[in-house]
Amino acid sequence: MNKLIAFFFFVATFTSVAEAQNKYPLDAALLRTDNDSTIIKKFFDHALTSGKAYEWLDTLSNKIGGRLSGSKEAAQAVDWAERLFRSLNVTVIKQECMVPHWVRGEKEKGSIIPFKTKNIISVPICALGGSISTPPDFKAAKVVEVKNFEELEKLGRKNIEGKIVFYSRPMDATQINTFSAYGGAVDQRWGGAMKAAPYGAVGVVVRSMTLSLDDYPHTGAMGYNDTIPKIPACAISTKGADLLSKLLKKDPETKFLFKTSCQKLPDEKSYNVIGEIKGTEHPEEIIVVGGHLDSWDLGDGAFDDGAGVVQSAEVLNLFNALGIKPKRTIRAVMYMNEENGGKGGEKYAELAKQNGEQHIFAIESDAGGTTPHGFSLKGDSLMIEKILSWQNLFKRYNLYSWFRGYGGADIDHLEKQCPVLSGLSVDSQRYFDYHHAATDTFDKVNRRELELGAASMAALIYLISEYGLK
């Protein structure tokens, strides 16, 4: 997940369940409450006893692995997704899009070199996504530690030129919502190189975006501006960052050296892969559920976002398995290139507009597939009020957090065409332990939590399909 954007996911005004129930009572004339409760329970029962998402994720994660856009693994994932949808006997649509192709190259090396002792201390690093490689003549350089861009500006060129800038601001551990903590720190990863280069910095080292204290560096997208010199950028593990900061306090002459061999290749052709069930009464009204098929390359992308794509496919599987014919068209979309470009989401929105399609609701799962708590909702107020009026039907499943907030990085491209965007809200406490790191692997995903999320989205989509949002 491109979590620079996802910062806005949780900068939202929460609407409590009790408030929503009082303000937007269930309309007995509209909802067949007993029947709807029975059907929703069937979604959860089937997902928890016969769901397929976990075994699909096993294949995607362990047989294909990390799926950075433009890679052969990403191409294999497209083929896998097409086969999966065909096995569900749904209509399959492929949308061609050109995506960035950045490759990491050989394993990166990072070293701290204290001036006083001359002892070389190896530390775990990884190149940030999109970074240029270190030049062949790149040498160890002194380090300037800063917490933010304001400190960088105060230091100025005379104190930075020829040095490596070390951004050491940690995620705020006091934030209960870890996405808020991420949003408070990720600007240094995305913009660090662009901000440091004009002052003559030769490279950038960024503390990894995680609340864990460990030896796993976390990658993620960073940006360049063609009008500003491009300098190499890497992430350092949190233990490595703490050590570097400690040594700099003892010995300000401490140097740092890192070697990377990443490069940007020409764009590659890839695809969004879509499975569709046509609506029986209002097929022109489209409901989208999705996640992104690509992932970073250090782990196998099970959390980010293999979980989201298999949950989206599971929604279609649940409708078919239970013999429920939706009144409105449901699409499960596996987007390509969310992590380092967003080209898949852009292409989907572009084609939807070009084809004159009528989207009424879009939901995204891109927060790790842990225990679901509810939904974030963004868009038309009256339609959101109608959705909030259905909360009573979800109380028994502990889906208590319904709030006005963020949709998702891919579906946000639909904002001008779709009146309501939504995100599956889940327990975020473990997410940044694995996000964009080698620790993002299949064994971290819990089958029950994964299926609960799929059933939650299926149940909400069922109600929207049955009753619409007008």
pLDDT of residue 66: 98
How does pLDDT run across 291-333, given as a tens digit for each residue? Answer: 999 999 999 999 999 999 999 999 999 999 999 999 999 999 9
* DSSP letter for each residue of 34-95: HHHHHHHHHHHHHHHHH--HHHHHHIIIIII----TTSHHHHHHHHHHHHHHHHTT-EEEEE
* pTM more than 0.85: yes
Backbone phi, psi, residue 343, to 5°: -70, -30
The residue to which tokens 């007995």 are assigned: 28
- Domains of the chain are 3-101+266-467 (3.40.630.10), 105-261 (3.50.30.30)
According to DSSP, residue 302 is labeled I
Run means of pLDDT, 10 residues per run, the chain, 470 residues: 48 39 43 84 98 98 98 98 98 98 98 89 98 97 98 97 98 96 98 98 98 98 96 98 97 97 98 98 98 98 98 98 98 98 98 98 97 98 97 96 95 97 97 98 98 98 97
pLDDT of residue 33: 67
Rg (C-alpha) for the chain, rounded Å, is 23
- Helix and strand numbers (H, E) in the chain are 14, 17
pLDDT of residue 132: 98
pLDDT of residue 15: 38
By C-alpha distance, which of 276, 422, 409, 417 is closest to 357? 417
